[in-house]
Structure 1
Amino acid sequence: MSKSRSSEPRGPSQRQLRVGELIRRSLSELLSRGDLHEPELSAMSITVGEVRATPDLKRATCFVLPLGGGDETVMLDALRRAKPEIRHQLARTMKLKHAPDLKFEIDRTFDRMDETRRLLSDEKVRRDVEAADRAPEEDGE
């Protein structure tokens, strides 16, 4: 008897991943060239960490971060103002039937990594992990 997978959460499809990566690379290239008519974007370096496309590929969330600790609010405002131009430029470079609507969010991946490192370096956590490693396995006894 096969199990129904409808109740299990599924990750993004291969198509979503491919389109997200295509948008990420194209957006990174567009921002690095500085061809946009938004002065704030020309004055800052922006990292595009990840792009997540919806299953229907009509929307894409772009996770961005200003390099060198730039002002995140200024960057997001500038990207949102330039969104129609960015979308138009991406549509010209990508081989997609429709250019997805773009949403820009701050990439918090590095913050989460730093917090995880901090937690793992805590003395109590290290002691618990080491104690668990030394505990005998109880699967057959």
Structure 2
Amino acid sequence: MRNRKSNNDSPAGASQRQLRVGELIRHAMAEMLTRGDIHDPVIESHMITIPEVRMTADLKLATIYVMPLGGKDVNAVIAALNDNKRFLRGEIAHRVNLKFAPDIRFRADERFDEAERIEKLLRTPEVRRDIEKDGAADE
């Protein structure tokens, strides 16, 4: 029997089923946000992106990554989504055909911040010098 690595929150180690269920939940959430099904003033006043949903191996927990347009009021948006968690979980259960509705949690998507940090690092004089030195050595 093969030894399978249990990787709860990593898309790289996710099974096809985890990825498929995560994508179904992502679509359901996006549809609810687009249609205005969530009646909360904070959520209604923001354009919210759901770039990813990660499922645990047992499909009992969905971590939903969110980012409001422009990255403003992230904490307020996550708090509003958490306030509506019971409704959202019920809607997800209704829209996605699963045996059990997963628990849901919301997290800020920090990929954009990380990409910006890396971009700034690449523009520093030390890194530019090293890149140019490596480029000259390759020729």
TM-score, normalised with respect to structure 1:
0.83
Tell me the equivalent position of 1:60.
62
Could you tell me which runs of 5 or more consecutive residues in structure 2 were left unpaired when the two chains were aligned: none
SS in 2 for 1:68: helix
Count of residues in Structure 1 that have an aligned counterpart in Structure 2: 133
Q: Distance in 1 between the 2:135 and 2:101 partners?
A: 50
Could you say which structure has the larger radius of gyration? 1
After TM superposition, give the deviation of residue 74 of structure 1 in Å: 1.4
RMSD: 2.2
User: What's 2:42 paired with?
Assistant: 40
Find the aligned partners of 1:122 and 1:74 in 2 and give their Cα distance.
34
Give the Å deviation of 1:98. Answer: 1.3
Tell which deviates more after alignment, 121-130 or 106-115. Answer: 121-130
TM-score (norm 2): 0.84
Hey, what does 2:113 align to over in structure 1? 111
With 121-130 and 19-28 compared, the bigger mean Cα shift is at 121-130
Q: Distance in 1 between matches of 2:72 and 2:123?
A: 29
Q: More helix per residue: 1 or 2? A: 2
Q: What is aligned with 1:16?
A: 18
Letter in 1 for 2:66: V
CA offset digits 1:75-102 (Å, max 9, x no partner) = 1111001001011111111111111100
User: Aligned pair 1:131/2:133, yes or no?
Assistant: yes
The gaps in structure 1 that reach 5 residues or longer are: 137-141
